[in-house]
Structures are given as structure tokens and as C-alpha cells.
Amino acid sequence: MTPRTFLLTGLLSLFSVSLFAQSSGSDIEWITWTDKTPHQSLIISPNGKYIATTNLSTFANQEIRIYSTEESELGLGGELQNTIPYSKVVESFNAIHGIYTTFGFLSDESLFVSQRIYDTILRNYRQVLVQTNLEGKLIGEFQTAFSSSNPTSDVYTKGLYIFSGNITSTTPYVDSLLVTSLLSNQTTTFHNRYDIGTEGRTVLIGVSADASVIALRQRNHYWIGEVASGKVLAEHEFNSYYDTWRDIRLLPDNRSLLIVGIDNTVRTMNVETGELKRIIVSGDLQTYGNSTPQVALSPNGRYLAISQGNGVIHLWDVRTGEKKHTYRDYQGVFSAIEFTPDGQHLIGLTLDGALLSYKGPDHVASIEDQEQLQANRLELINSSTFNAHSHTARFTFTLPEQADVRISIYNLQGEVIGEVVKPSLQRGEHVVEWQQGDLPSGVYFYRLAAGNKLATGRLIVTR
């Protein structure tokens, strides 16, 4: 008999269907997990029906995964719909290799993908901009004035393709931005406005909800531009603050920026008037280890979500500067977080392969209520790992008081595959074992109920 290893990890409130999250009082609505290559980027379709993730930061085995947020037979969201490998998208071109450089939803049912390929007929590299359906089938190619150029960087967002790099051999602005509306095929050039050396390139900060306005930065100069005309709507210079920000977002008024600083502050900056206002000061904004905090701004500009390297996401009310909620049900490092277009859900992507949906700001408890709810959580003291010739998993936990204990084990489809009941366990530490004759390798989840207290975790079985 081939031995198996069971790994019990104390990840709180981890499960694959929303029924489990709801029963445990968790902020998690649904969660899905993969043991394949973790992805670093996520985008959400305009209607919020689909989520796409990718591993743009890698050069090998690039792919796009499409998930549904809607209810299915397997649960209430997070079901994998399709995986589109890079080779699928470029198979229509005379290309031997290349990479994705940016992508996004062009509509609710189609994707925009920018690729850098080597054309075997033309014998050179070129940028290919295409539209595909959600299965990766090519719909069409966009022909733009600069698609054959070599970009310093390119970004796609909200129907706009923003290209940075040498536009022509005679252009003195090496890092000018060209902004193309893919639906109208109209291109506007935003040149560097200030001659401040090679490090003063123009950088995109944000795009308005209707894609009519973009926010730009050139070193310590900030400006707002109109996409259709290229007209500068507002600009200001902030000499003492250009290199101390961690993240910048354009606010819905299209004149102000929200700046998350490295000094544990959040400020608003009005590019039109020059007003700089500090609204949040908190140690909860600091980073942990080498992790990069992820930031998401709700569509109405009211709420700011910031992740920390310890798996906690703090939710702030931008208007009042007060913390509204703390998401702490999943202890993993987030590589991306984003609000759905309606602001009703917060989607998170983690480095250990989890994609999950949290309740949005309008559906979570206040900080005060959270403290009371936290008192009803059961703490898992440790986890255990062993070679299971006997097909036995061991659960270790500590009870704050005497309680009846029930441990339920689930597969990824949310089906109960085993239960252990221990009545009237005394206060203190306990070890409970569960035996299963022939459990296949894979990921499983468990729910531990002790009286009115709950804990959950992940169980990994490997051969």
C-alpha cells in the first residue's frame, strides 16, 4: 500500500462553497483552490459574472483562467470555467514563441490580450493585440499605429490600451503614452510635459470609471488628462511627496488622487487645487516581511481595502478615515484584491492558489461587532503532519470550556465524506483522530464545531 501524507493547516474559514462560510459566520462567500501554478493578477468582467486570473509575471507556461462568480451545482461561485494557455491565443499567428504583456475583459463575453511574439515570416518581434472569446478562440486582431513597435510597457484597462515607448524613430519623447480606445480605434498621445531627464517618464496612475479621463504622473508632477482630446484638465507639482507613495488611485471626482504612503498614512491629493489632506494614520498600514500590500478602492470611492502579509485585509471608510472592518478568515499572502463592479464583493487571489470572494462593505460587521464575534471563534493551537499508513488524520485543538465536538470533513464539491463526534469533551487540549480506508490524493476541508464556536481548515492528502 502506498503511504500518504496528511497535512493539516490552520487556515481559518477555508472552504470551497458559500454554504460552509455562511454556517461558520465567516466573511468568505465562496472559495476555490488550485494546486497548479499560482497566478498573480485578476480582473473582473463589467457585469461581475466572470473573473480572469493570469501569471503575467512569468515567462513560461503563461495562461489565463476563467472563473464564474455565479451559482452552480458545485456551490455559489468560484467554479473554473476554462483555462486558456498562451499557445491557444497565438496559434493563429506565425509565431514560435512569445509572452502575454497585458490582458483584460473587452466585454462581458470577450477578452483583450496583448502579446509579444516572434513572427517567423517577418523574422522580427512584434506586438499583437487581439480579441478572443472566453474559450480562447480568436475573434479579431486590432490594427494600431504602434502595434509593431517595442513598448517599454503596456497596460489595458476599461477598454483602453495604453502604450509606453518609442513611437517613431524621430520622436524625442521616449516614454510618451499613446492611449487607444479599442472600441472606437481612436488614439491620443500624451507627451512628457517636463524635461527632467531619463527618469522622468510619464506613468499611468488611474482611469475614470467611464474611461474618459486618465491620471498621470511624471516624477513629482501629477496631471489629469481627457482621453478623447488629450487636453490637460488639472495638474500640480508636489515636490516633497513624489517618492513616498505605495499605491495611488484616481477618485470618482476625476480631480483627486488617493495615496497610500510608505509612512503608514493615506492621503487625498487634489490635483486641481493642490490641497493635500491626511485622512488615515495607522500601524495597520505597515507591511510584513517582503510581502507587497495589495490595494483596492470600491467603485464609489467610499471604501479602501489594504492587505497585509499576514493574510489580514483592513477595510477603511475614506470619508471618515475610520476602519470599518477587518477580513481575517483566510491566512494567506494576497497577490491581488479587487472589488466587483457593483461594490458588493471583494475578490482576493493568494500566492498559495486560493481565489475567494468576501462579503462587500455593505454586508460586513462593524469593528465593534467583530470583537464580539471573535469571542465565539475556536482557536486551533497547532497542526500536525504524519505518514498515514493507517489512513489516519489527527486534529489538535483547545477548548475554552466543556463542549460537544463535531468534526466534518468535505471534498472540493462540498460533499461530506466523513464525520467524527466527541460528546462532552472537557476544557483544554484534545487530539481527535479520523480514519478513512482509501482517501484519494487531493485537497479536503474540515469544519470543527464545539458548542457555539467554530473553526475550519484545509486537509491535503498526498501519496
**Residues 55-107: pLDDT tens digits?**
876 556 788 999 999 876 555 688 889 998 877 766 666 555 667 788 899 99
Residue 311: pLDDT over 90:
no
Quote the CA–CA distance of 277 and 359 in Å, as a whole number: 29
d(CA 443, CA 463): 12
Mode of pairing for the β-strands spanning 392-399 and 186-190: unpaired
Indicate the burial class of 349 (C-beta count within 10 angstroms; 0-12, 13-18, 19 or more): buried
The mean pLDDT of the chain is 78
The tens digit of pLDDT for each residue in 27-56 reads 888 888 776 778 889 999 999 999 999 887
What does the alpha-carbon distance between residue 298 and residue 316 come to, in Å, rounded to a whole number? 10
| Per-residue confidence (pLDDT) for residue 196, from 0 to 100 | 54
CATH 2.60.40.4070 at 1-25+375-463, yes or no: yes
Give the residue among 171, 183, 124, 132 at the shortest CA–CA distance from 148.
124
Q: Is the confidence at residue 147, as pLDDT, over 60? A: no
Query: What's the mean pLDDT in 10-36?
Result: 56
**Percent of the residues in the chain that have a pLDDT greater than 70, as a whole number:** 74
* Of 3-7, 30-34, 391-395, the least confident: 3-7
* 110-124, 151-165, 185-199: range with lowest mean pLDDT: 185-199
Sequence spans of domains, the chain:
1-25+375-463, 26-374
Which helix (H) or strand (E) segment holds residue 111: the answer is strand 110-119
The per-residue pLDDT for 6 is 32
Q: Decide if pLDDT at 315 tops 90.
A: yes
- The dotted CATH code for 26-374 is 2.130.10.10
- State residue 427 phi and psi, 5-degree precision: -60, 140
Q: What is the pLDDT of residues 342-385, one digit of tens each?
A: 999 999 999 888 899 999 999 888 776 766 666 555 554 434 44
Per-residue pLDDT tens over the stretch 130-139? 899 999 888 8
Confidence at 430, pLDDT banded by 50, 70, 90? confident
Residues 184, 42: Cα–Cα separation, whole Å: 25
pTM of the shown model: 0.78
